[in-house]
Structure 1
């Protein structure tokens, strides 16, 4: 659907260099990177706000590299998108429809407002909305334009934790309805919870494009590995347990207890290596997960030692060198891994 083919551009002293990727109809593609690597610049070049110096951008087979933003059929929503303060929510959502002289404006506004959950706020002014409500209206205004692709530039970064969770759920819902989304963020948790495909940006270059599982399990560079900071990223299925506040996460045939509000079904599990302890026997205490396994690798880390253990799936624990020596750990040893249910972070 969208093909970005070897584009480069220069903005002041900063450059984007030889960027290439493809986004298919219905994809959720997240561009992930630290601040200042060119993520927003790339988004604006796709939208037509910034002219590229070389390469081409194709949408539905048509070269749109020279098209003006109004003719690209692409919507963009910024972190701090400004709604028109003198207009009601209804009038803000209707604005792109009136600009295009669309028919059935009221019907389309009501449908879009219901989709994003603001149908009860149509008569209100923007300054009466919460941060999450404000961003929902901004999304609705862009959706109402009915463009081919939806570009989001750090849309959740200024929201509180509750609003972020709600907006993530809304974005997943919109994507499931068939909307194609390209989303820029510096937050890896946000990326993994939303993306079907992730592109990692570093210093104006797109250095790795793959599924979340591939990105997190097989980083292609030291930058990617350091940036994501995750060793344990496991795909599996989440299942509720009767009469319990815990859920069961099943990866291969290994069953882990998790304390989570995530929905049942296909999901990813993240565990920080420092959350996993190692012992010669199952520990007593509040940890609900105890698995015996075989040490398959031991490697010095920047701080401490990373011990990889096969418990039916591979997990990495970060321990001190003193702990490794006192436990007498060696590759091939049988040892126990222990971690709390609350250490398991689940993303649908």
Structure 2
């Protein structure tokens, strides 16, 4: 069960149960399909005006959650409220919600102006022309108004879909893998564009994605989902720097996870015997009460040097490494280093020109600053989250 109210890493805590809440609130929401539980007793608060991302691998429940908010699926149990109104069983067209899908779903026979104006004209809204032109200006498509969707690029079609959804002034805009059909370069530019638009209009955006970079680039708050529950929620940097589970540590980037035994705890430090080497963990980054745990360190936080070389880190030096693989990837060189206990650790070294390259078979020593390490429960699978799926 996900209990967001108990998560200290949430950037903006939920309002107390029973208090008026102007954002989106899910309470004990469960969705089952036959014997399969897609979403499991989910509690979630999304503050009004925030850019919120639901991130996770295929089958984690993120798209099912989005569809329940949109009214396209009905919860098996639980409640959904938006701006203080219970919308759990409301028809989709009665919800102040619009959805932008990966397929865009534009009307091919209508030009861009008519696509964007469609919802306003159905409602017989006044001042349609000025609203449409303001929205096309927001998405930077004023010069394309009389073109048909087929005459536009993928990125431009995405902007039309956004404009058509935003012009209805929904309380919440739902984005279901909206950039999945774009190529990598265009996807990255659209990430920046989406964040700009959300900031300008000030609406709540809820973005579902399996792409960690996409979520971390755009969102104020990211909820990492796994097997129908939220593993951890918070600001992107907090999730990356201080993961609370092996799943989050592996799904957001890459992590070295090394078994160790806790030797002492104090208000200032947790001391761990890591394969015969003493290492220190800040208490705020220790997420187990047991006497054993996974010592975690991101590959880019690990320093590598020749035996006896003074490394720029006030941590313990871990000797006896042997380079087993070297990959030059432009901005960095990525090493695999086999340690005396047989485990291979990843090391990413920036190619600044300050350090020489090491070669396969060379003896090396590793080190890292204690404040970068974290400690996770040994009962968790060290490989959880390492294999990312594509999408639901």
Q: TM over 0.5, yes or no?
A: yes
Report 1:116-195 matches (<5 A).
Answer: 116-177=139-200, 178-195=202-219
State which of 92, 105, 122 in structure 2 corresponds to 1:99.
Answer: 122
Indicate the structure (1 or 2) with the bigger Cα radius of gyration: 2
Report 1:317-336 matches (<5 A).
Answer: 326-328=363-365
Q: Which string of whole-angstrom CA distances, capped at 9 and with x for unpartnered residues, describes residues 150-196 of structure 1?
A: 10000111101232122112211122121210000111111110111
Mapped partners of 1:107, 1:330: distance in 2: 61
Q: Which residue of 1 aligns with 2:93?
A: 70
Q: CA deviation at 1:205?
A: 1.6
> Once structures 1 and 2 are overlaid, which stretch shifts more, 11-20 or 119-128?
11-20
- 1:43 matches 2:69: no
Give the conservation status (yes or no) of the 8 Å contact 1:93–1:137.
yes
Report 1:1-348 matches (<5 A).
Answer: 1-15=23-37, 16-177=39-200, 178-231=202-255, 273=299, 278-280=304-306, 292-296=312-316, 304-305=344-345, 326-328=363-365
Mapped partners of 2:368, 2:211: distance in 1: 35
Q: Which string of whole-angstrom CA distances, capped at 9 and with x for unpartnered residues, describes residues 278-303 of structure 1?
A: 2259x9xxxxxx98223347597996
Aligned length: 277
Give the conservation status (yes or no) of the 8 Å contact 2:56–2:225.
yes
Q: 1:119 to 1:276 in 2, by over 3 A?
A: farther
Q: CA deviation at 1:36?
A: 1.8
Q: CA deviation at 1:231?
A: 5.0
Please give the root-mean-square deviation of Cα atoms over the aligned residues, in Å: 3.3
Give the conservation status (yes or no) of the 8 Å contact 1:305–1:320.
no
Unaligned runs of at least 5 residues, structure 1: 233-270, 284-289, 310-318, 333-348
Aligned-partner SS, 1:120: helix
Mapped partners of 1:84, 1:320: distance in 2: 57
Q: CA deviation at 1:53?
A: 1.4
Aligned-partner SS, 2:79: strand
Mapped partners of 1:42, 1:18: distance in 2: 11
Q: CA deviation at 1:85?
A: 0.7
Mapped partners of 2:187, 2:368: distance in 1: 42
Mapped partners of 1:45, 1:274: distance in 2: 39
Give the conservation status (yes or no) of the 8 Å contact 1:304–1:321.
no
Q: 1:112 to 1:13 in 2, by over 3 A?
A: farther
Q: Which residue of 1 aligns with 2:280?
A: none
Q: CA deviation at 1:321?
A: 11
Mapped partners of 1:193, 1:106: distance in 2: 34
Mapped partners of 1:181, 1:117: distance in 2: 19
Q: Give structure 1 regions of 4+ aligned residues with deviation exceeding 6 angstroms.
A: 299-302, 319-322
Q: 1:227 to 1:100 in 2, by over 3 A?
A: same
Aligned-partner SS, 1:114: helix
Aligned-partner SS, 1:293: coil
Give the conservation status (yes or no) of the 8 Å contact 1:197–1:210.
yes
Q: 1:95 to 1:305 in 2, by over 3 A?
A: same
Q: Which residue of 2 aligns with 1:264?
A: none
Give the conservation status (yes or no) of the 8 Å contact 1:297–1:308.
no
Aligned-partner SS, 1:158: coil
Give the conservation status (yes or no) of the 8 Å contact 2:304–2:366.
no
> Once structures 1 and 2 are overlaid, which stretch shifts more, 212-221 or 41-50?
212-221
Normalising by structure 1, report the TM-score: 0.72
